[in-house]
Chain A
Amino acid sequence: MSSYSSSARFDEARRVAIFGGTHGNEMSGVTLVNLWVKNGSEIQRKMVDTKPFITNPRAVEKCTRYVDTDLNRAFTPENLSALGEGDLPYEVQRAQEINRIFGPKGSPEAYDVIFDLHNTTSNMGCTLILESSKDYFNLQMMNYIKKAIDPASCLVLLNEHPLLKYSTSRSVAKHPVGLEVGPQPQGVLRSNIFEAMRVILKHALDFIELFNEGVEFPTCTVEVFRVLERIDYPRDANGNIIAMVHPNLQDGDWEPLNPGDPMFLTFDGKTLHYQGSGTIYPTFINEAAYYEKQQAFVTTRRETLVASAIRKA
């Protein structure tokens, strides 16, 4: 039964970018984008211009997360309009350059979709990161991907939290999509992780092609995990970590954490328990890059979002 009158209309998604190396030591994205820059046939689709792009080449060259400052936090309005050019931190200059090429952020000229490829040391499996619960185009894409890879799983993390949300490189686009696949150590390329990311992108591009051909995607529901809060390691007065993620919680991304469950283990063997008021779903557990950001894991709650039917305008 068609529902033309109630479909949300979106412009054709003609301009699509795939970002790798936003963090220079997250190797799946670096490798995939380098591969596609040389030979992009795998990512070509009818009526779509797909541009693979290394966002932080200096960090990639040094195989480090960033050179001066985290590129994936750099796309703030202040940074994007900052003056000073060569005196600005490298990643702020890069953010301005990326905004020129793929934006401007928030304008009609901005790219339609940007996929930003990341890895994590956390045991998150394949995760799609969504920045707005109202982005029905993205929700429909994520629903399509989840069904396409079934029985393999791909979860959706929604970060719409006003304080914890951050200005990502992909936020330049109208429809930003984060792909986070783990566990993989920084600086390491694991074949299974690489292939998993490749398959997700294949389905994502298939969706865009179908959408551009005029296919209507009927209303759907998508289960998401909504970011609630960031939990730091217990620290002493000098800021040193005094406990580790508890072995029961380690690698337990997306598993329920109930009040009273073990959360941290001190160096002399004492267990610290989760003191929250209800069950939450932890993720980004023990991500290497987050020690400096004061984060041992984030808490989420499960929600079901509804996406209206969509079709091309």
Chain B
Amino acid sequence: MPYRARFGRKMECVSLPPLSNFAICGGTHGNELTGVYILREMQKHNVEKVGSVSITTVLSNPRAVDACRRYTDRDLNRCFTDDLLSSPITESTPYELRRAQELNAHLGPKGSEEAVDLLCDMHNTTSNMGLCIIFNSADWLILHICKYLQSKITSMPVRALQMDLPLSEAFSVDSLGKHGFSFEIGPQPHGVLRADVFNTMKEAVDLTIEWLQQFNSGRTFEGGEVEAYTRWKTVHYPRDPTTDEITAAIHPQLQDNDFKLLQPGDPIFLSLSGETVKHEGDALYPVFVNECAYYEQKIAYHLTQKSTLTLPSINVKKD
């Protein structure tokens, strides 16, 4: 059950049940290669149990991985809403909807007591986002993991991004776990495997397992504050009104500047004919700037608000 983080007041230490099973997913998008190769290595070394934590490795979308494509029929990482998970399967059901239900049976069922304690899904983005830990609700466990990774990883910035949807509407594979989050690392082109990105993802996964072991063995993790970015609105590319074709590119001053505050008047698009379009409205933080997969929906980037969340100390509940 999620524990909502609150502002301001000093909180008492919270005790939570141990986390004994951890599922790591990769290849949810078949051309996001880091997760695919991390899984391959874990499976090669038969990583099944580390101390008190049993580990399940899952290649989410094997068909898409084989074809080195994001998906075959539809995006697997949008198939985990309650509605889609309970929709009847027929012969004409798209591959990814079937696969989502298989994964729900294996790692869930979503929202139930049988679901895996913690699920981590590995992704890449073409955007310059460094390491982003993406989760649905501000659950203290996940926020503590964020805090831990932020304190240990120095190879690139580590940030927390919150989606904040009701559980029934949560659509990504990590919503199957009792606690779930994704690691999103960029920039990396789809279909490319960069060593620096691989090494950071490996470090993040190893640190998560290390945290789980320490948590299970009774360590108290001190409370504190974590900055998180919460999705606020989506910005689409300017388009031709008749053909719906995109008519501008992300402006060079916005390109690669994910998480840099965008103020009213700052350039956001440069049209193909050379005109600059400027940001209007509130000052917000852009993320997923120029992500390849979002062209399909003509999405240029998302805007987020930054807030500081206060965490209580946590430790494992002793019997």
Within 8 A of A (CB), among B228-262: 245-246, 249-252, 255
Interface size class of B (residues with CB under 8 A): 20 to 34
Does residue B292 face the partner (Cβ distance < 8 Å to A)?
yes
Give Cα A186 to B40, complex, Å: 24
Binds A, one of B101-109, B156-164, B190-198: B190-198
B191 in contact with A189 (CB, 8 Å): no
Does residue A63 face the partner (Cβ distance < 8 Å to B)?
yes
Give Cα A184 to B188, complex, Å: 10
Of B41, B189, B196, B270, the contact of A247 (CB 8 Å cutoff): B196
Q: Which residues of A contact B198 (CB under 8 A)?
A: 244, 267
Known: A63-B295, A286-B192, A289-B191. A192 touches B37 (CB 8 A): no
Does residue B290 face the partner (Cβ distance < 8 Å to A)?
yes
Of B194, B195, B290, B295, the contact of A190 (CB 8 Å cutoff): B290
Of B193, B250, B292, the contact of A185 (CB 8 Å cutoff): B292
Does residue A81 face the partner (Cβ distance < 8 Å to B)?
no
A250 in contact with B270 (CB, 8 Å): no
Give Cα A181 to B15, complex, Å: 55
Of A31, A121, A188, A289, the contact of B272 (CB 8 Å cutoff): A31
Give Cα A183 to B194, complex, Å: 13
Give Cα A105 to B27, complex, Å: 43
Of A34, A188, A191, A240, the contact of B252 (CB 8 Å cutoff): A191
Known: A121-B189, A185-B126, A288-B189. A191 touches B270 (CB 8 A): yes
Known: A267-B41, A289-B191. A188 touches B196 (CB 8 A): no
Q: Which residues of B contact A183 (CB under 8 A)?
A: 189
Known: A187-B295, A250-B196. A192 touches B255 (CB 8 A): yes
For residue A70, give the distance in angstroms from its CB to the closest CB of chain B: 14
B272 in contact with A245 (CB, 8 Å): no
Does residue A141 face the partner (Cβ distance < 8 Å to B)?
no
Q: Which residues of B contact A155 (CB under 8 A)?
A: none
Give Cα A240 to B41, complex, Å: 11
Q: Which residues of A contact B250 (CB under 8 A)?
A: 190-191
A189 in contact with B249 (CB, 8 Å): yes
Within 8 A of B (CB), among A277-294: 286, 288-289, 291
Give Cα A286 to B189, complex, Å: 10
A247 in contact with B40 (CB, 8 Å): no
Chain A 171-198 per-residue mask, 1 if CB under 8 angstroms from chain B, else 0: 0000000000001111111111010000
Q: Which residues of A contact B255 (CB under 8 A)?
A: 190-192
Closest to B194 in A: A250
For residue B189, give the distance in angstroms from its CB to the closest CB of chain A: 3
Closest to B195 in A: A244
Give Cα A48 to B102, complex, Å: 60
Q: Which residues of B contact A187 (CB under 8 A)?
A: 126, 190, 292-293, 295
A191 in contact with B251 (CB, 8 Å): yes
Q: Which residues of A contact B190 (CB under 8 A)?
A: 185-187, 288
Scoring A35, A191, A192, A247 by chain B CB atoms within 10 A of each residue's CB, the highest score goes to: A191
Q: Which residues of B contact A246 (CB under 8 A)?
A: 195
Give Cα A186 to B189, complex, Å: 7
Known: A192-B255, A267-B41. A286 touches B194 (CB 8 A): yes
Does residue A200 face the partner (Cβ distance < 8 Å to B)?
no
Q: Which residues of A contact B295 (CB under 8 A)?
A: 63, 187-188
Give Cα A246 to B195, complex, Å: 6
Does residue A265 face the partner (Cβ distance < 8 Å to B)?
yes
Q: Which residues of A contact B249 (CB under 8 A)?
A: 189-191, 194
For residue A28, give the distance in angstroms from its CB to the closest CB of chain B: 10
Within 8 A of A (CB), among B283-310: 290, 292-293, 295
For residue B272, give the distance in angstroms from its CB to the closest CB of chain A: 5
For residue B94, give the distance in angstroms from its CB to the closest CB of chain A: 17
A291 in contact with B191 (CB, 8 Å): yes
Within 8 A of B (CB), among A15-49: 31, 34-35
Give Cα A252 to B191, complex, Å: 19
Q: Which residues of B contact A188 (CB under 8 A)?
A: 126, 189, 290, 292, 295
Q: Which residues of B contact A289 (CB under 8 A)?
A: 191
Closest to A34 in B: B245
Within 8 A of B (CB), among A244-296: 244-247, 250, 265, 267-268, 286, 288-289, 291
For residue A88, give the distance in angstroms from its CB to the closest CB of chain B: 22
Known: A31-B272, A191-B252, A192-B255. A121 touches B292 (CB 8 A): no
B195 in contact with A35 (CB, 8 Å): no
Q: Which residues of B contact A192 (CB under 8 A)?
A: 252, 255
Chain A 226-250 per-residue mask, 1 if CB under 8 angstroms from chain B, else 0: 0000000000000011001111001
Chain A positions near chain B (C-beta within 8 angstroms): 31, 34-35, 63, 121, 183-192, 194, 240-241, 244-247, 250, 265, 267-268, 286, 288-289, 291
Other A-B contacts than A190-B255, A247-B195, A247-B196, 10 sampled, CB-CB below 8 A, are A31-B272, A184-B189, A185-B188, A185-B190, A187-B292, A194-B272, A240-B40, A244-B193, A245-B194, A288-B191
Q: 8 closest Cβ contacts across the A-B interface?
A: A185-B189, A288-B191, A191-B249, A244-B195, A187-B292, A121-B189, A185-B126, A288-B192
